[in-house]
Amino acid sequence: MPEGPSIIILKELVTPFAGQKVIAVSGNSTLPIDRATGKKIIDFKSWGKHFLICFKDFSIRIHFLLFGSYRINEEKEGTPRLRLSFKNGFINFYACSVKIIEEPLDDTYDWSADVMSEDWDPKSARKKLKRAPAMLACDALLNQDIFSGSGNIIKNEVLYRTKIHPLSKIGSLPPQKLSELIDEVRNYSFDFLKWKKAYVLKKHWLAHTKKTCTRCKGPMQKEYLGTTRRRTFFCPVCQKLYD
DNA sequence: CCGGTTGTTCAGCG
DNA sequence: GCGCTGAACAACCG
């Protein structure tokens, strides 16, 4: 569920409810979610992996983390964390993190960091990366302040596509390689979106979960790298270490 | 049936 | 008070 492109799909699926009044709210969330009852949804937005339900005076932020899910006009086993009903249907969110945001979203979110956004600004990402020369490439690609929406799959695929070893230091990447990295996060995210919609995402993985390198036919390496020790798949031959 | 994971937050430590 | 690390949480697949 979680990476940025999946949230774009959700946003598209809920468009029938944009502008609709919430006629009932339920769920096992401990927050005062009933506040949405009777209120009109102004818009649905997203920032990376955050799904945002916007009302006039506040917003509800949904984060699916690793295991969250949703159903639209469809039930599923278990109590939803949040359920919003409309006269033309309902949305259920399960096992997700719910947060209420009081301030205007423009005050909370740096839209230029969102890889899928029309406000995405590669120059801004570059500036942030320049400020963190010691950061490892595998950590940079999971950093939501720099690449909001990028996740572990996107990380592995982008490093493989750009032939950058996950343990490369950001400050050691030649300028053109750095540009390539930044551009490829957005490029691959849109491929991810296209393939996910067509239910063929896994088929197109070149690195993630792979045992053999499609380029050199050598073995792929699997290690738990970076500050978060996330699963990292890479080809030690084709992906160059910039140290 | 158990182990593992497309993620994040927070307590506890030095 | 800071940065870092590991635990906790969650549900479903293989």
SS (H, E, C) A39-78: CECCEEEEECCEEEEECCCCEEEEECCCCCEEEECCCCCC
As ranges, strand C nucleotides with an atom below 7 A of a protein CB are 4-6, 9-12
Neighbours of A86 (CB within 10 A): 18
Q: For residue A79, give both structure tokens.
A: 């109590």
- CA A166-A130-A49 angle, 5° bins: 65
Q: How far is the CA of A91 from the C1' of C3 (A)?
A: 40
Q: Is the CB of A68 under 7 A from strand B?
A: no
pLDDT single digits (tens) A160-197: 999 999 999 999 999 999 999 999 999 999 999 999 99
Q: Is the CB of A1 under 7 A from strand C?
A: no
Q: Who among residues 117-136 of A has its Cβ near strand C, under 7 Å?
A: none
CB A42 within 8 A of CB A78: no
* DSSP run (H or E) holding A8: helix A4-13
pLDDT single digits (tens) A20-76: 999 999 999 888 899 999 999 999 999 999 999 999 999 999 999 999 999 999 989
Q: What is the pTM of this model?
A: 0.95
The domains located in chain A, with CATH, are: 4-108 (3.20.190.10), 112-234 (1.10.8.50)
**For residue A25, is it left (φ>0), alpha (ψ between -120 and 50) or beta?**
beta
Predicted local confidence at residue A228, as pLDDT: 87
Tokens 């990292």 belong to: A232
Q: How far is the CA of A67 from the C1' of C12 (A)?
A: 8
Counting residues of chain A whose pLDDT is more than 90, the rounded percentage is 88
